């Protein structure tokens, strides 16, 4: 399969709660990125974490990377209804112009 795996596939939470999404991949990477996509729209880049980094923060976002387990997590704290979207991890692989492969995505629904 071209894609890495993400879980959960769908997540429904109340506004104010935290949302955690996980991503696993198969081969060595240069970096891992998280993107957000609202229905039928393009992608919005959220955060990039390099293979030699373990954790990164950006506002309410926290990303971790465990290269030994080939996995990453995205935590959104104090979620808002406006966070409702699909979230994808994408891994840039060594060689081939850093070909970037997307995970299956998590559909997040935040209830007001």
Read out DSSP for the chain? --SBEEE-SEEEEETTS-EEEEEE-SS-EEEEEEEEE-TTS-EEEEEEEETT--EEEETTEEEEEETTTTEEEEEE-S--GGG-EEEEEEEEESSTTT-EEEB--EEEEEE-
Binding mask 2-41 for another protein (x = CB under 8 A): xx--------------------------xx-x-x----xx
**Which region, judged by CB under 8 A, interacts with another protein, from 14-22, 55-63, 73-81, 86-94?**
86-94
Question: Cβ closer to another protein: 77 or 93?
Answer: 93
CB of 91 to another protein, least distance (A): 10
């Amino acid at each position: 399969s071209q894609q890495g795996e993400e879980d959960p596939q769908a997540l429904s939470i109340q506004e104010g709660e935290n949302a955690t999404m996980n991503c696993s991949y198969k081969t060595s990477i240069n970096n891992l990125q998280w993107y957000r996509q609202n229905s039928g729209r393009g992608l919005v880049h959220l955060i990039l974490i390099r293979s030699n980094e373990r954790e990164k923060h950006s506002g309410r976002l926290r990303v971790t990377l465990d290269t030994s387990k080939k996995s990453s997590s995205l935590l959104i704290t104090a979620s808002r209804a406006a966070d409702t979207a699909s979230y994808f991890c994408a891994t840039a692989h060594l060689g081939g112009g850093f070909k970037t492969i997307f995970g299956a995505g998590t559909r997040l629904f935040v209830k007001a």
